[in-house]
Structure 1
């Protein structure tokens, strides 16, 4: 553990030093290149703000409108039949939308139920088995100007559904429904 602390403390400065040495060796204007990259990064950040704000507003409207509560009450019987706790559904819905929102929900589930509970283990496994598909599509596709996202969205959401199902299956297989 001590060795990893030392390595991590010196790794980034060593990497920056290596980049500067290579830039000097190849006669690349390091500072000017850095400033140009910073300008490009700032322009990229500005260009992704509108789709990001739109996605965050849509998430807020979904939660505040009561649509999430309606959905939970509609699928509660099916979840009870297969042994999946309804508490996990908000995480399953939020995970493709927002990593931060999903992390908040997972943290709340773990705080309420405990990290070694079935729900805590399932939430942790779901968090690691899925991705923030809509966020990724919004930010990265928006940054490079891709407008046709239909196929990527379908495949990404299908992968999320497969990840959720696999998480449920394997947590039930390994830990059982406690």
Structure 2
């Protein structure tokens, strides 16, 4: 039943939009072109912010800070989690790549994979959101947003570690 619904939902939505446009006498094609122009302008305006994030992530990886953090925090949490903590605020795709590697290396039911999954789900790509979304609408003063985002990320990481320890550490045999 759900397969049938999911098969027809998109064509039905498109048809409903087109029928509504015809009834209200809205020039659909012209509106679409206008929206595409606006979307292209937004895409061009956020390119510098995306480049800045890519450069920052690359510099962070090349600096050796990750290796230092792995050695330092390895006694508190699994060392392979450190790169996820370090990149989550910067890049969602980099974090998902690291998460995928953890699942592949340790298995989906391992403690470290469960911890990584909780961390990925309980934090946000704070700096990406600030750079791209705030940059696209021209917000320049976002000091409180940065602090709020960082506090939320730290809270999410700490609570993810606690939740994983409470729910999964005893059953993992570690």
TM superposition score category, shorter chain reference? over 0.9
Matched, 1:147 2:145: no
Q: CA RMSD in A?
A: 1.2
Taking the aligned partners of 1:135 and 1:14, their CA distance within structure 2 comes to: 34
Render the CA deviation track for 1:125-168: whole Å, top value 9, x for unaligned: 11111111111111100100111121111111111111111111
The answer (yes or no) to whether the contact 2:66–2:82 under 8 Å persists in 1 is no
- Which residue matches 1:42? 40
Shift of residue 4, structure 1, vs aligned partner:
1.9
Q: What is residue 86 of structure 1 aligned with on the other side?
A: 79
Structure 1 residues without counterparts, runs of 5 or longer: none
Given the alignment of the two structures, is residue 29 of structure 1 paired with residue 27 of structure 2, yes or no?
yes
What is the aligned partner in structure 1 of residue 112 from structure 2? Answer: 119
Matched length: 171
1: CA distance between counterparts of 2:162 and 2:84?
16
Query: What is the TM-score normalised by the length of structure 2?
Result: 0.93
Residue of 99, 103, 106 corresponding to 2:99: 106
Deviation at 1:113, TM superposition (A): 0.9
Q: TM-score, normalised on structure 1?
A: 0.91
Q: Post-superposition shift, 1:71? A: 2.6
Q: Which runs of 4+ in 1 moved over 6 A?
A: none
- Structure 2, unaligned runs of 5 or more: none
Q: Which residue of 1 aligns with 2:11?
A: 13
Aligned counterpart, 1:132: 125
